[in-house]
Structure 1
Amino acid sequence: MTPPLIAVLNGPNLNLLGIREPAKYGTATLDDVESLCAEVAEELGLAIDFRQTNGEGELITWVQECRGRAAGIIINPAGYTTTSIGLLDALIAVELPVIEVHITNIHRREEFRHNSYVSKAATGVVAGLGVQGYALALRAMAQLIAPAEAEDLP
């Protein structure tokens, strides 16, 4: 049986993780995050498709491609959190469980970061727990999709 696929999508500037503001975001790189996600996914019997883009349109296209392909989406929308209604619309349209991840606690930061459009489509949000938030999101996603996966068994 093929393991359920979880898309782990990352928005703008996350390619600079480990370099950009390490006091705020830590020293782990995006490659480190991908390795962490791969380890946790294997432990949980999941497959991941881990991607990062600086382009809003590309991120929206990736979300749309998840419909009928992925069992769920974990997304760190980064700067598009507070600006992209298009991303919100795409997340709603795919009708999949969505977990929003932020490395920092967006509610302890500048006020303009407090309003997340993505949260309106998200089943859950993990914020402020560093890159370990991705591991927690994968564990939560495994629980969210477990009933749906069980229905597919003979």
Structure 2
Amino acid sequence: MSEVRPVDIRRAAMDLLARREHSFHELYAKLRRKFPSNSTSADIENNDDAACELDNLIKQQCLQLAEENLQSDERFVESFINGRKAKGKGPLRIRQELEQKKIDADLLSIYLDDSDAEWECLAAEVYRRKFGDRRAGSYQEKTKRLRFMQYRGFSYELLAKLVI
């Protein structure tokens, strides 16, 4: 493979960002996969010049895009939360997914308020879509419904109002 130039990295990053928002870490990881060095990650840790140089170029381009506000973790979090809400996911599930994407906890606390009344409405809507208006008759049916809603990411306290 020929030498990777900063403009190539930036173009690839812009292509990714044109499709959807990406977190800083996600964008960096995708660019590392797109522009692999012939070195391993152990070479980067051992300060192999070629591997470190490519890694630094990718980091530099990601930082520049963030500085220019073309990449924004805030926009990514907002977009991600809205997308998951539309799919009927609750705050606990969304928080877990964002933590896996290495989003800063402070940013999560700003955009993801678990006590928001909107979650109660969303939980009721998801519950009604899945189970209709009929009440759970047996203990097994109640636990089944609770497990489903907890898997979706809603807290037990919120679900106690719906199921019981």
Normalised-by-shorter TM-score class: under 0.3
Greater strand content: 1
Return the TM-score normalized by structure 1.
Answer: 0.26
Larger Rg over CA atoms: 2
Return the TM-score normalized by structure 2.
Answer: 0.25
Greater helix content: 2
Structure with the larger RCO, 1 or 2 (CA within 8 Å, 6+ apart): 1
